[in-house]
């Protein structure tokens, strides 16, 4: 099992390129199931979750090829409209194929999602919405089965709570449904907007993506398309924090500054210098100990839950006490125990972490519990005194492309060991 060995104390200097967004690539790959014509996707990151999704598409019957850096998906033959446990047990995004398969083939059988144990992800919201579009849903033996032999029909959907995956899944179902579908309290994340842009290129009629109300006019069929995935805003934010926590000077290239605005505002308040370094780049500098600044995670455009752990790592060495409040996932503080092994002073009270900044952290042997927790431990290790060994970095490999190589290129003392 791979580990990272990190020796702290090195400041990062240079350019850190951002890969395509994993959280945008996964629904884009699922959307290719909606047409019998080829879909070509650029900017797909080569991470474990993507490999799992590609394996799932192949199991369903699609042909998936990597040509000149682009992923080509040909889903003309969908022989097995199912997502078996053996294929998707390590990935949360398996439910993304539920809507496309039900819409195109009239049936879908999908294993309940696996992946990071950071809290409940209410797939019941997806299922209730699909039922309102005319699907019959059954849950048995760890699987969800959706049947719509006569096709789906448009409807009025109101999500009780904002759900990104639920919005994406329903969006893909609605594009082939008869009539109009209105989705209220829809997720506004950039990844949702990116998916809608791809679907519209494929011939869908979607309005309002990126707002809380999305209108979809169903069409009879979709055609092939070519699309470039947006940059990964979570990787961009992680790299900005890496520059700040090491008192470095890094330029994060190939990003969209608007997508990480909630983070950069907080970083500026804490004492980092953030400036635009071109249309698609941000420069982060920090030459002092940060000030403690509170954050509360929220749906986009608020502070991303996927950056909470990394931000907390920075706050462990801040001057003063910061309050980190998690409102999205109820079990997303598992990294705090490992940070404490490195000398962090953190107390958990319900959904709030109280972080008293320390002068320094020290290297230790730690274990990654989930994808973003892995990133927080890497950041903490780069500023800690001595050597840190991070176990179970397969979590990191689910969502970050060659992160150890990128960080080493700008000065980090990091290597992958077995």
Residue whose pair of structure tokens reads 């003392």 in the numeric block:
413
Angle formed by the axes of helices 22-31 and 48-60, nearest 10°: 10
Q: Are the C-beta atoms of residues 116 and 88 closer than 8 Å to each other?
A: no
For 154, the token pair is 């448009």
Q: Which residues on neighbouring strands pair with residue 137, listed in sequence order?
A: 146
Q: Give percent helix, percent strand, percent coil of the chain, each to the nearest 5.
A: 35, 30, 35
Token reading at 106: 């009239």
Helix 22-31 crosses helix 164-174 at what angle (to 10 degrees)?
20
Q: Is 287 tagged catalytic?
A: no
d(CA 392, CA 377): 11
Q: In what order do the strands lie in the sheet with 295-296?
A: 295-296, 321-325, 352-356, 345-349
Residue 71 CB partners (closer than 8 Å, separation 6+): 29, 40, 41, 44, 54, 64, 65
DSSP letter for 11, please.
P
Neighbours of 296 (CB within 10 A): 14
Residues whose CB is less than 8 angstroms from the CB of residue 387 and which lie 6 or more positions away in sequence, other chains included: 5, 6, 7, 8, 363
Cα–Cα distance between 267 and 259 in angstroms, integer?
14
Burial track 125-135 (b if 16+ CB lie within 10 A, e otherwise): bbbbbbebbbb
**Residues tagged active-site:** 116
């Amino acid at each position: 099992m791979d580990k990272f060995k990190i020796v702290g104390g090195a400041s990062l200097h240079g350019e850190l390129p951002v890969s395509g967004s994993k959280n945008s690539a996964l629904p884009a790959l699922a959307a290719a199931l909606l047409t019998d014509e080829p879909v070509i996707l650029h900017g797909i990151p080569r991470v474990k979750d993507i490999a799992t999704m590609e394996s799932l598409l192949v199991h369903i019957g699609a042909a998936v090829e990597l040509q000149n850096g682009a992923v080509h998906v040909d889903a003309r033959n969908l022989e097995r409209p199912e997502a078996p446990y053996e294929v998707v047990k390590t990935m949360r995004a398996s439910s993304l194929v539920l809507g496309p398969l039900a819409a195109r083939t009239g049936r879908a059988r999908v294993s309940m999602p696996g992946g990071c144990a950071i809290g409940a992800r209410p797939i019941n919201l997806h299922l209730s919405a699909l039922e309102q579009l005319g699907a019959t849903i059954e849950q048995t033996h760890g699987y969800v089965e959706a049947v719509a032999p006569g096709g789906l029909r448009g409807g009025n959907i109101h999500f009780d709570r904002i759900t990104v995956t639920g919005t994406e899944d329903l969006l893909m179902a609605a594009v082939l449904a008869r009539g109009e579908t209105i989705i209220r309290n829809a997720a506004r994340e950039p990844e949702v907007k990116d998916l809608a842009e791809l679907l519209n290129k494929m011939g869908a009629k979607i309005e309002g993506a990126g707002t809380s109300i999305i209108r979809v006019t169903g069409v009879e069929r979709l055609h092939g398309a070519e699309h470039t995935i947006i940059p990964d805003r979570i990787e961009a934010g992680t790299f900005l924090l890496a520059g700040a926590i090491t008192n470095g000077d890094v330029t994060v290239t190939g990003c969209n500054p608007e997508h990480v605005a909630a983070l950069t505002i907080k970083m500026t308040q804490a004492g980092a210098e953030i400036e635009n370094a071109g249309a698609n780049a941000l420069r982060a500098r920090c030459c002092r100990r940060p000030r403690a600044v509170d954050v509360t995670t929220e749906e986009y455009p608020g502070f991303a839950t996927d950056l909470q752990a990394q931000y907390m790592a920075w706050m462990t060495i801040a001057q003063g006490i910061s309050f980190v409040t998690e409102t999205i996932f109820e079990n997303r503080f598992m990294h705090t125990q490992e940070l404490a092994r490195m000398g962090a002073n953190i107390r958990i009270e319900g959904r709030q972490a109280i972080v008293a900044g320390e002068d320094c952290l020290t290297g230790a042997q730690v274990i990654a519990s989930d994808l973003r927790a892995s990133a927080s431990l890497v950041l903490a290790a780069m500023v800690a005194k001595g050597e840190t060994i991070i176990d179970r970095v397969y979590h990191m490999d689910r969502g970050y492309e060659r992160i150890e190589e990128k960080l080493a290129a700008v000065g980090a003392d990091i290597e992958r060991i077995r």
